[in-house]
Structure 1
Amino acid sequence: MPQYLRIAEKVYKNLKDEKKFTQAPVEYINDLLKQIRKELKGTDMKLIYNFIEFNSGFKNQLIDGYLNIDVSLIPNYKYQDEYVLWLAGFIEKITVGGKKRIPPIVDNIPPEFTVTSDLRQINVMSPDKNSEQIISYFKSGDFLNGFNQH
């Protein structure tokens, strides 16, 4: 999802800088798709659909072979975070290719760092020593002096 968010933020910024946004999404939807195509150039992502049919409330009959989008579901561009999230999801649905998921954290852990080797190095104190240390701390002058001052 990070690569889709990155593209969505660039598209949003470009449309906002060029003042292409209007109150009605139907009016700027072609510019939106042009910006998406422009951002996808040079990447390994490609559009799945050549034709995207935008309807208002799906009043018209759905066309096979087209991606049918209800324009009334597009958030207002003034709410940048919500709009960018919607746009990232939209880009994810209409594209194929690219890195689909974040790599697992295991790839960042060196092979010599294993649980078995590190567990042997941990010094486990016996419960008796732990309880004795806790009791001795509460009886110490440092604790009593600090406690009496507050």
Structure 2
Amino acid sequence: MPKYLLLAEKINKNIKYKYSSNHFKNLNNLIIEIKKAIAGTELKFLYNFVNFEGAVISCQNEVPITLDMSLIPKHKNEDDFVLWLADFIDRITIDTSKGID
């Protein structure tokens, strides 16, 4: 989890001034920043396609995962947001250095 917290803090700094009232735009910016942050690391996205009309879709098995935007902490509550973001990164990525169990 510490590596996810470090990534979340780095991403939070990069998006701090990009936030708007449009939640889908914020989520899109967040995904872009996560992609930039994990580039060149052992982390890889679990999902290849993001559908912002209500679900995140995995192209591998086509299983929709619903995303409740109200559960995302307000960005102004920085500590809560960073903790949520670290967990979010953990859930949408896979650590390829750990191997397959």
TM range (shorter): 0.7 to 0.9
The number of aligned residues is 94
Tell me, which stretches of 5 or more residues in structure 1 are unaligned? 101-150
What stretches of structure 1 move > 6 A for 4+ residues in a row?
none
Query: Which structure is higher in RCO with an 8 Å CA cutoff and minimum separation 6?
Result: 2
Q: Which has the larger radius of gyration?
A: 1
Aligned to 1:48: 46
1:4 aligns with 2:4: yes
Q: 2:86 aligns with which of 85, 88, 97?
A: 88
Q: Which protein has the bigger strand share? A: 2
Report the identity percentage: 43
CA distance change for structure 1 residues 49 and 66 in 2, over 3 Å: closer, same or farther?
farther
Give the letter for the 1:38 counterpart: K
Q: 1:7-33, CA deviations, whole angstroms, 9 ceiling, x for partnerless residues? A: 0111110001xx211234222111110
RMSD of aligned residue pairs (Cα, Å):
2.3
In the other structure, the counterpart of 1:75 is: 73
CA–CA distance in structure 2, aligned partners of residues 98 and 7 of structure 1:
16
Give the alignment's TM-score, normalised by structure 2: 0.79
Q: Is the 8 A contact 1:8 1:88 kept in 2?
A: yes
Query: With structure 1 as the length reference, what TM-score do the two structures score?
Result: 0.55
- Tell me: CA distance 1:46–1:70, structure 2 relative to 1, closer, same or farther (3 Å): same
